[in-house]
Amino acid sequence: MDSMPNAAAPYTHFNGLDPSRQQFVSWQTASSMNSTLLLGTSSGALATNQTNATMTIMHHVKLDNLQPNTRYYYQAKSASANGTYISPVESFETAPLASLPFKVALLSDSQQMWGTGHYGVIAGDIANLDGISFVADLGDVCEWPTAQPDWNLFMAQSAPWMAKYSFAPVMGNHDSLFDSATQGYDDLQDFMYYQHFGFSYSSGPWKNHFFYTFNWSNVQFVVGEIADGSQENIALMNQSAWFNETLAKGQDKAFRVLVFHRSLFSSIGDHPDYIARIKPIVNKYNVSLVMYGHDHHYERFLVDGHTYLCLGGGGAMQDTSFNVVPESQFLNLGPSYTTISFEVDHAVVSTYSEQNDLIESFTLATNGSVIAQTTGGAN
């Protein structure tokens, strides 16, 4: 990893934005250069969208006034006295406003702990999927929060799917350093996560935080900042108030999906502090699906009629011992990734091994205001 160049091909992300009309295009160059972005709805007809003469290594371009439900093509260019960088033509899709079917891919804990190498295989699996709207990594993107080589490897392995799909990032405990004495993050400016994605909101009551929300078709996604620092994250960041305010606005959506990093229910040990804070919110606002990582295995739970998923098979070393909790309905050990196909009145959740074998599949179906889980399994 240390020999890999400190550069990243362009990637798109929309944390803090409305993905139906906005997008960030970001890239990293090995030395300070300017930034130019070409954009168009055809790969053969790109026009200059923005130019920034500021010399920088991390390049971030915000796109506004995009058309919903549209695939855009773009190319990044950077130059300095030392040379020129020109990226391949890549693409992303904006969110539809109408209730249209769509599909997403998710994983967690892609960190390359002790060089296990599984994330590289899973990244290739995701790159070979068709019809994905965006990809979410539920935290612990890399092993060390300030290690450039870790992020060099992650970005290089992710480049094939990032060339096609936008990234919905989630901060994990390995992506940050929380200081319990100061009740804040240490060395924030050095976090590779912050450098690549920035804060979700730069103004307003929730500025300078990493949590965010967005709508895609008939689904509300709520991304929490429950990463390092145990339960202090929820109290310090006032996320209980934010969760309540945000989910209250999503009651008109067919599905509400809540994601964050730290685990709640888990057969390697429940986390009662998190359960006490999050479960009442899930029940109150009829959250359709809760997903997290942190524990390194795949596990599905049914609690008060609500489905919780642990998606910790994204690349790190897997857990080795379990004491299966009563809420657990399915448990799998081994690298994995998950897709969700959202239809107008139901969603199919499928989890696959890194060899693309089906581990299990189940359906969440709408029945009035209630989301009912129909269990399935591997074929």
Place of tokens 């026009």: 47
Q: Report the alpha-carbon distance of residue 37 to residue 62 in Å, rounded.
A: 10
User: Residue 249: is its pLDDT beyond 60?
Assistant: yes
Portion of the chain with pLDDT greater than 70, in percent: 92
pLDDT at 276: 87
Q: How many CA atoms lie within 13 A of 102 on its CB side?
A: 23
Query: What pTM value is reported for the model?
Result: 0.94
**What average pLDDT does the segment 299-326 reach?**
93
pLDDT at 321: 85
Find, among 70, 48, 50, 68, the residue nearest to 60 by Cα.
50
- Residue ranges, CATH 2.60.40.10, the chain: 8-93
Task: Specify the 3-state DSSP secondary structure of 368.
Answer: coil
pLDDT at 358: 97
**What average pLDDT does the segment 281-304 reach?**
96
pLDDT tens-digit readout, 30-55: 999 999 999 999 999 999 889 999 99
Per-residue tokens: 193: 């996560």
N-terminal to C-terminal alpha carbon distance within the chain: 38
pLDDT at 335: 94
pLDDT at 53: 93
For the chain, give the mean pLDDT: 90
User: Residue 379: is its pLDDT beyond 70?
Assistant: no
Fold classification of 102-374 is Purple Acid Phosphatase; chain A, domain 2 (3.60.21)
User: Residue 234: is its pLDDT beyond 70?
Assistant: no
> Confidence class of residue 369 from pLDDT cuts 50, 70 and 90?
low
Lowest mean pLDDT among 13-22, 70-79, 169-178: 169-178
Mean pLDDT is highest, among 87-91, 110-114, 271-275, for 87-91
- Residue ranges, CATH 3.60.21.10, the chain: 102-374
Q: Report the alpha-carbon distance of residue 11 to residue 134 in Å, rounded.
A: 12
pLDDT at 182: 72
pLDDT tens-digit readout, 95-127: 999 999 999 999 999 998 766 789 999 999 999
Task: At 100, give phi and psi (nearest 5°).
Answer: -115, 145
Q: How many CA atoms lie within 13 A of 154 on its CB side?
A: 29
Neighbours of 142 (CB within 10 A): 27
pLDDT at 229: 58
> Confidence class of residue 370 from pLDDT cuts 50, 70 and 90?
low
pLDDT at 376: 60
Q: Which of the pair, 191 or 230, is modelled with greater confidence? A: 191
Neighbours of 316 (CB within 10 A): 23
pLDDT tens-digit readout, 49-64: 899 999 999 999 999 9
Measured between alpha carbons, how far is residue 92 from residues 73, 86, 97, 132, 223 in Å?
7, 18, 16, 10, 20
- So what CATH class is 8-93? mainly beta
Q: Which of the pair, 258 or 186, is modelled with greater confidence? A: 258
Q: How many CA atoms lie within 13 A of 32 on its CB side?
A: 4
Lowest mean pLDDT among 149-158, 223-232, 276-285: 223-232
> Confidence class of residue 5 from pLDDT cuts 50, 70 and 90?
low
Give burial (CB, 10 Å; 0-12/13-18/19+) of 31: middle
